Amino acid sequence: MNNFSEADVALFIGNNPIVSHYAPVGGVPPFSPSKRIRDRKKEGLKLIVADPRLAEVGLLADIYLPVKPGEDPALLAGMLNVIISEELYDRNFVAAHVDGFEELKAAVALFPPAVAAERAGVDKDELVRAARMFAGGTKGCAVTGTGPEMAGNGTLTEYLATCLNTICARFKQEGEKSGAPRVFTSPRGNTRAQVGDPVPLYDAPGSARSRFRGLGQLGVEMPCNVMADEILTPGPARFAP
């Protein structure tokens, strides 16, 4: 992901780093977040905040979207609709590195701005303006916070935020200096970003499977929504932390 220090646009979804000091990848570092945001805004950063409550970070936003609780997916689908329909996404990056773009396009076609805005409880023109502002930047990520992550559609929210970052190429581009090189496995000197191997998805052949719902791995991780069952249910494959 792009670092906040190099971003020219940022989208915070239910994330108030000024108080929480929560710093997801691409988000505001947890030390003096208010000063960091203000300093970056003086340098030209555009800030979009989507949150049911106008919190401290929302007061600094160029666009504040008072999204209804639990309707973050509708908002993000509407933004994706605008970015795709107006061809504001990074077509070179999508062509080279993205699978399933046509399926995503078809899915968000059901959420034109008027529909998405009504469901999300925001102004349609502001939703469109936010989509154009986010896509118009060259670097900067959409990041979420604890509220949307733990809501009923938290997985969908995370997926759509990832889609926003992906089609707008909000990742270190090949050849750029890596933002977080691996300490023990990276070569000496400046580590450069590069495209890695595809990450195995949940239904990948050979993926380990949970005893519950048949869920598989995402990369090297198992889905946390079956962890309690795996721990509490006796059996030979019981997971013991």
- Compute the distance between CA of residue 120 and CA of residue 165 in angstroms, rounded to an integer: 20
CA 214 from chain center: how many Å?
Answer: 26
pLDDT value at residue 197: 62
- Compute the distance between CA of residue 163 and CA of residue 100 in angstroms, rounded to an integer: 10
| Domains in the chain: boundaries | 4-167, 197-241
pLDDT value at residue 165: 94
- Of 75, 85, 87, 171, give the one whose Cα is nearest residue 119: 75
- Compute the distance between CA of residue 150 and CA of residue 239 in angstroms, rounded to an integer: 23
Which parts of the chain have pLDDT scores under 50? 183-186, 188
Q: Give the CATH fold of the 4-167 domain.
A: Dimethylsulfoxide Reductase; domain 2 (3.40.228)
- Compute the distance between CA of residue 197 and CA of residue 194 in angstroms, rounded to an integer: 10
Structure tokens at 128: 């469109």
pLDDT tens digit sequence for 26-68: 677 778 888 999 999 999 999 999 999 999 999 999 999 999 9
Measured torsion, CA atoms of residues 194, 198, 201, 204, in degrees rounded to the nearest 10: -160
pLDDT value at residue 177: 67
- Compute the distance between CA of residue 85 and CA of residue 125 in angstroms, rounded to an integer: 15
pLDDT value at residue 240: 55
pLDDT value at residue 42: 93
pLDDT value at residue 186: 47
pLDDT value at residue 185: 47
Structure tokens at 217: 């791995």
